[in-house]
A and B are shown apart, each in its own frame.
Chain A
């Protein structure tokens, strides 16, 4: 009896760093940002209670936020599925014993490895600039264009999507690990039954990988919503042209740390939390129709 009590204390000693951190850096900030979201607060004077007016303003009196929601949803809905599909296809391509497979695996992973760095965003900015690699390449195949892909409203967001898709490597590694866990006997049995590669893909590979796909989908959707650095670097912190790269996180950053509208930015953060929560919930709820768990 005494030993068990002792264990309770020891347990708390070991997890105490997390408890402290959770209270100071997660729980307290969550509640205070919820409070700030009902106030007007510029950091200099005390927060002033304004009720729901920040939230009202978001939906009635702020065109930019609507732009940023549109841009962010477009970004997430295009980049996350494309990246996952490409990652899966490439993983299937690499899931065989071929000479030099390790080298290919490492090469495909390199973009993900350096993907979060400012250097890569700077590089992307130059590649898609008016005199960058893309235009030079188009020029050599006879298409002459002088537009700056990052400066042209219709294509600016596309360059961010491409940057994200280019970094398919870490998802590919996760899929590859999943593919290796599928017993070869399943495919052999299917071959005996006369199933072709397409049937095998839809009846064996996809169902058995579905839990991993779900996991990837949720984590990447959340991190897609939080994308900041490439949009900041590529648009010079402005989210332009015509707000077309104004991802939600970037706009929130503007409101909070450029204009010091802490109350309004907190309301934005809470709206984002609710939006991400809803989307995650929808993915979870619909997952029972497509995620297959082995029991």
Chain B
């Protein structure tokens, strides 16, 4: 009797957990399925996840893009922006994080509260003046307003790297100091190799945030030849191309591939990063 009650409970548990899992993942499956359906079938067989035949042509027609700019251009733009931004964000945040974690200097508390202020400050408050600033120095219609600010330390990553450095025994630094290392070489030779996990976590999140970013490119880029994937996808919704549903779903699906690939490779770093720091995915 007891055993049976336990079995029922287990089955019920898996049933509930599965239903939630299906709800979570169904829209994504629907997106992928729609990307492989013939155009006229997408909305007539909306509940079915199985296309009558696989319409790979959606990927061909979607890839063609708009006004001579193919998705090769958009992908290239995205990767340029994301890679340069991520290098900038991680390198600068590592330097700053080390400064706060390991060096005692006058005013360090003050500047750390500036980090927290920047972290919590809604970007709407600064975005208008930043736009005016970039307009004044002639940076509109270029990648510079999107990439350059990433080179000045990202509060979330500074915080994350700082916390990570604090778990490293200070005796290591002391020993290196005895051997005549300066703070600079301690950072470079001792700390950097030890904080690789924190750097990887920061790099992954930087990658995600920049890849998904829609607002900044929308503000600063006017010429479709400069559009990253996020902004290019929006072109499918503009009236003249309203009919290529298949292509739109195909390119939307494709835009998610780098995100999934990074997730599959670095799953552990992502889950740890979220669990320990509250980073939003």
Does A25 lie within 8 Å of B130, measured CB to CB? yes
Interface residues on A, range: 35 or more
B46 interface residue per 8 A CB criterion: yes
Contact of A25 among B46, B120, B152, B256 (CB under 8 A): B152
Does A12 lie within 8 Å of B105, measured CB to CB? yes
Residues of chain A in range 250-295 having any CB-CB distance to chain B below 8 Å: 252, 256-257, 262, 265-266, 268-270, 272-273, 276, 280
Does A140 lie within 8 Å of B274, measured CB to CB? no
Chain B residues closer than 8 Å to A56, beta-carbon distance: none
B274: nearest chain-A partner, CB-CB: A173
Interface residues on B, range: 35 or more
A203 interface residue per 8 A CB criterion: no
A210 interface residue per 8 A CB criterion: no
Chain B residues closer than 8 Å to A25, beta-carbon distance: 126, 130, 149, 152
Q: Known A21-B153, A273-B125; judge A170-B252 contact (CB<8 A).
A: no
Chain A residues closer than 8 Å to B209, beta-carbon distance: 116
Does B237 lie within 8 Å of A270, measured CB to CB? no
A110 to B26, CA, bound (A): 11
Chain B residues closer than 8 Å to A14, beta-carbon distance: 95-96, 98-99, 103, 183, 187
Does A170 lie within 8 Å of B274, measured CB to CB? yes
B198 interface residue per 8 A CB criterion: no
A33 to B128, CA, bound (A): 7
B10: nearest chain-A partner, CB-CB: A98
Q: How far is the CB of A132 from chain B (nearest CB, A)?
A: 6
Cβ contacts A177-202/B at 8 Å (1 or 0 each):
10000000000000000000000000
How many residue pairs link A and B with beta carbons under 8 A? The number is 263
A216 to B126, CA, bound (A): 24
A215 interface residue per 8 A CB criterion: yes
Does A108 lie within 8 Å of B21, measured CB to CB? yes
Chain B residues closer than 8 Å to A106, beta-carbon distance: 267
Does B183 lie within 8 Å of A10, measured CB to CB? yes
Does A32 lie within 8 Å of B263, measured CB to CB? no
Chain A residues closer than 8 Å to B245, beta-carbon distance: 126
Does B99 lie within 8 Å of A15, measured CB to CB? yes
B25 interface residue per 8 A CB criterion: yes
A216 to B255, CA, bound (A): 29
B196 interface residue per 8 A CB criterion: no
Does B31 lie within 8 Å of A123, measured CB to CB? yes
Does A219 lie within 8 Å of B105, measured CB to CB? no
Contact of A119 among B123, B129, B252, B263 (CB under 8 A): B252
Chain A residues closer than 8 Å to B252, beta-carbon distance: 118-119, 122-123
Does A113 lie within 8 Å of B47, measured CB to CB? no
Does A17 lie within 8 Å of B125, measured CB to CB? no
Q: Known A11-B104, A122-B233, A173-B274; judge A265-B128 contact (CB<8 A).
A: yes
Does A249 lie within 8 Å of B115, measured CB to CB? no
Does B100 lie within 8 Å of A15, measured CB to CB? yes
Does B118 lie within 8 Å of A109, measured CB to CB? no
Does B275 lie within 8 Å of A7, measured CB to CB? no
Does B108 lie within 8 Å of A18, measured CB to CB? no
A8 interface residue per 8 A CB criterion: yes
Of the listed stretches A61-69, A73-81, A229-237, chain B binds: A229-237
Chain A residues closer than 8 Å to B16, beta-carbon distance: 93
Does B126 lie within 8 Å of A30, measured CB to CB? yes
A139 to B98, CA, bound (A): 59
Of the listed stretches B51-59, B64-72, B166-174, B211-219, chain A binds: B211-219
Does B96 lie within 8 Å of A17, measured CB to CB? yes
Chain B residues closer than 8 Å to A256, beta-carbon distance: 127-128, 131
Interface residues of B (CB under 8 A from A): 13-14, 16-17, 20-21, 24-25, 27-28, 30-31, 34, 43, 45-47, 92, 95-96, 98-100, 103-106, 108, 111, 114-115, 117-118, 120-133, 135, 149, 151-153, 158, 182-184, 187, 208-209, 211-212, 214-215, 218-219, 229-231, 233-234, 236-237, 245, 248-249, 252-253, 255-256, 259-260, 263, 267, 270-271, 274-276, 278-281
Interface residues of A (CB under 8 A from B): 7-15, 17-22, 24-26, 28-30, 32-33, 36, 43, 90, 93-94, 98, 104-119, 122-127, 131-133, 135-137, 139-140, 166, 169-170, 173-174, 176-177, 212, 215-216, 219, 222-223, 225-226, 228-229, 232-233, 236, 249, 252, 256-257, 262, 265-266, 268-270, 272-273, 276, 280
Closest 4 pairs between A and B when the two form their complex, measured CB to CB: A21-B152, A11-B105, A14-B99, A29-B129
